[in-house]
Amino acid sequence: MLTKLTGGIVYDPANKINGKQKDIYIKDGKIVNKPRNADPDKEYNIKGKVVMAGAIDLHTHIGGGKGNIARMLMPENHRIDPVAHTDIKRAGTGHAMPSTFVTGYRYAEMGYTAAFEPAVLPVNARQAHMEMGDVPMLDKGGYVMLGSDDYFLRMMTAKKDQQAINDYVAWTIRAAQGVGIKVVNPGGISAFKFNQRKLDLDEKNTHYNVTPRDILRSLATAIKELGIKHPLHVHGSNLGVPGNVQTTLDSIAGVDGLPVHLTHVQFHSYGTEGDFKFSSGAAKIAESINKNKNMSVDVGQIMFGQTVTASGDSQRQYANHGIASPNKWVCMDIECDAGCGLVPFKYKDQNFVNALQWAIGLEIFLLVDDPWRIFLTTDHPNGAPFTSYPHLIRLLMDKSFRNDMLATIHPEAKKMTTLASIDREYTMQEIAILTRAGAAKITGLVGRGALGKNDWADITVYTENENREKMFEKPDYVFKNGEMVVKDGEIVKTVWGTTHVVRPEYDKSVEKDLKKYFDKYMTMKMGNFTISDDEITEDGRGSITVHPTVGEKI
Partner 1 sequence: MTTITEVPSPFCGIGSDDLTIQVDGVSIKVTENGCAINTPAFEEAIADIDPRVDGKMVSLDVAIKRAAKILKKANQSVIGGCATDVNGMRALMALADRNGAVVDNMNFTGAKRNFLAMQDSGWMNTTLAEIKNRCDLFVVVGCDLEAFSPQFYQRYLWNKESMFLKDTSKREVIYIGKAPSGKASTSPKKAKAKVLECADADLPEVMAVLRALVKDHPVSVDEVAGIKITDLKKIADKLKKATYGVVTWAAGALDFSQAELTVQMLCEMVKDVNASGVRCSGFPLGGKEGDQTANQVCGWQTGYPARMRFSSDIPEYDPFLYDINSMFANGEVDAFLWVQAFNSRSVPPHGGKIPTIVVARSGMVFEEEPDVFIPIGTPGIDHSGHAYRLDNVVAIRLKKLRDSGLPSTAEVLTAIEQALVS
Q: Which residues in this chain contact partner 1 in the complex, by CB under 8 A?
A: 63, 65, 67-68, 71-75, 78-79, 82-85, 90-93, 97-101, 121, 123-124, 126-127, 130-131, 134, 150, 154, 192-195, 207, 318, 324, 327-337, 342, 520-525, 527-528, 531-532, 534-535, 538-539
Alpha-carbon gap, residue 126 to 135, rounded angstroms:
14
- Closest distance between partner 1 and the C-beta of residue 245, in Å? 29
Alpha-carbon gap, residue 340 to 286, rounded angstroms:
29
Cα–Cα nearest to 492, from 37, 95, 86, 101: 86
Between 367 and 522, CB nearer to partner 1: 522
- Closest distance between partner 1 and the C-beta of residue 129, in Å? 10
Amino acid identity for residue 29 in this structure: G
- Closest distance between partner 1 and the C-beta of residue 207, in Å? 7
Alpha-carbon gap, residue 147 to 483, rounded angstroms:
41
Between 100 and 301, CB nearer to partner 1: 100
- Closest distance between partner 1 and the C-beta of residue 362, in Å? 30
- Closest distance between partner 1 and the C-beta of residue 227, in Å? 29
- Closest distance between partner 1 and the C-beta of residue 488, in Å? 22
- Closest distance between partner 1 and the C-beta of residue 65, in Å? 5
- Closest distance between partner 1 and the C-beta of residue 290, in Å? 40
Contact predicate 535/501, CB 8 Å = no
Between 82 and 257, CB nearer to partner 1: 82
Between 118 and 438, CB nearer to partner 1: 118
Between 3 and 77, CB nearer to partner 1: 77
Alpha-carbon gap, residue 458 to 532, rounded angstroms:
27
Between 99 and 266, CB nearer to partner 1: 99
Contact predicate 232/260, CB 8 Å = yes
For residue 441, how many other CB atoms are within 10 A of its CB?
Answer: 21
Contact predicate 187/153, CB 8 Å = yes
Alpha-carbon gap, residue 147 to 218, rounded angstroms:
9
Between 31 and 132, CB nearer to partner 1: 132
- Closest distance between partner 1 and the C-beta of residue 127, in Å? 5
Alpha-carbon gap, residue 382 to 184, rounded angstroms:
14
Backbone angles phi, psi at 288, to 5 degrees: -65, -40
Between 99 and 357, CB nearer to partner 1: 99
Between 540 and 551, CB nearer to partner 1: 540
Q: Which residues contact 511 (CB under 8 A, 6 or more apart)?
A: 171, 526
Contact predicate 153/210, CB 8 Å = yes
Between 329 and 365, CB nearer to partner 1: 329
- Closest distance between partner 1 and the C-beta of residue 494, in Å? 12
Between 69 and 486, CB nearer to partner 1: 69
> What are the start-end ranges of the E strands in 127-210?
139-146, 180-184
Alpha-carbon gap, residue 120 to 334, rounded angstroms:
12
Cα–Cα nearest to 427, from 389, 463, 471, 397: 397
For residue 316, how many other CB atoms are within 10 A of its CB?
Answer: 27
Cα torsion for 96, 97, 100, 105, to the nearest 10°?
A: 10
- Closest distance between partner 1 and the C-beta of residue 522, in Å? 6
- Closest distance between partner 1 and the C-beta of residue 439, in Å? 24
Q: Which residues contact 205 (CB under 8 A, 6 or more apart)?
A: 153, 187, 190, 191, 194, 196, 199, 211
Q: Which residues contact 86 (CB under 8 A, 6 or more apart)?
A: none
For residue 85, how many other CB atoms are within 10 A of its CB?
Answer: 10
Between 216 and 340, CB nearer to partner 1: 340
Question: What separation in angstroms does the CA of 300 have from each of 246, 361, 442?
Answer: 18, 7, 17
